[in-house]
Amino acid sequence: MRVLGVDPGLTRCGVGVIESGRAHEVTCLAVGVVRTPAGSELPARLMTVADTVEQWMHTHQPDVVAIERVFSQQNVRTVMGTAQVSGVVALAAARRDVPVAFHTPSAVKAAISGSGTANKKQVTAMITKILGLESPPRPADAADALALAVCHLWRSPMAGRLAEAEAKAAELARHHRARLKEAGRSRSARQAGGSSR
């Protein structure tokens, strides 16, 4: 599986592509940052991000795009820009029929470092080790993009199994309800037959 991880940001948007191999091997194919100048108009900045992400998708042909889920704990202005970048990235993926998955920052940290409260330095160190990189990806946005991609790669089999289990549980529940309904009809028919004698 090939995953494009995106750490959305208006000034710096981290992008990284990884690929799974044999025996849970994970390889970094590319990593970088899309930068947009703070003085530019918002539409132009979003277009720069969208164009660059589309170029990455065209070059690397990912099977899925993993994007960090936006949280409102930051200031509103930062959240708005981050959310808008997430939107244009998701749209670019949808135009290519590439599935999109969103992961929370704490889920990514937990998947990479074992702790949902790990700091950026710890995540960067772990992603460098996991991918066998010669040097840590810089800036942190680039490392975060790779961490998102690895998180998705590692969590997707579990998510698939959970979805399968939920589908089976729903089917069993439907079957059980149908049997209860049928038993209720039979009981009503017997009671009606008894009262008519």
Say if residue 50's pLDDT is above 80: yes
Residue ranges of the annotated binding site for Mg(2+) are 7, 68, 141
The question of whether 144 is a catalytic residue gets the answer no
Say if residue 158's pLDDT is above 60: no
The question of whether 51 is a catalytic residue gets the answer no
Query: How many domains in the chain?
Result: 1
Of the two residues 189 and 151, the one the predictor is more confident about is 151
Q: Are 164 and 36 in contact (CB under 8 A)?
A: no
- Please indicate, yes or no, if residue 118 is contained in any of the structural domains: yes
The question of whether 141 is a catalytic residue gets the answer yes
pLDDT, tens digit, for every residue of 177-194? 778 788 777 777 777 766
- Please indicate, yes or no, if residue 123 is contained in any of the structural domains: yes
CB atoms within 10 A of CB 99: 12
pLDDT, tens digit, for every residue of 21-39? 776 789 999 999 999 998 9
- Please indicate, yes or no, if residue 174 is contained in any of the structural domains: no
Closest among 94, 2, 1, 80 to 45, alpha carbons compared? 80
Three-state SS at 156: helix
DSSP 95-136: HTT--EEEE-HHHHHHHHHS-TT--HHHHHHHHHHHTT-SS-
pTM of the model: 0.76
Single-letter amino acid, residue 197: R
Q: Which of 141, 164, 166, 182 is catalytic?
A: 141
Range of the domain at 78: 2-161
Proportion of the chain above pLDDT 90, given as a percent: 53
- Please indicate, yes or no, if residue 194 is contained in any of the structural domains: no
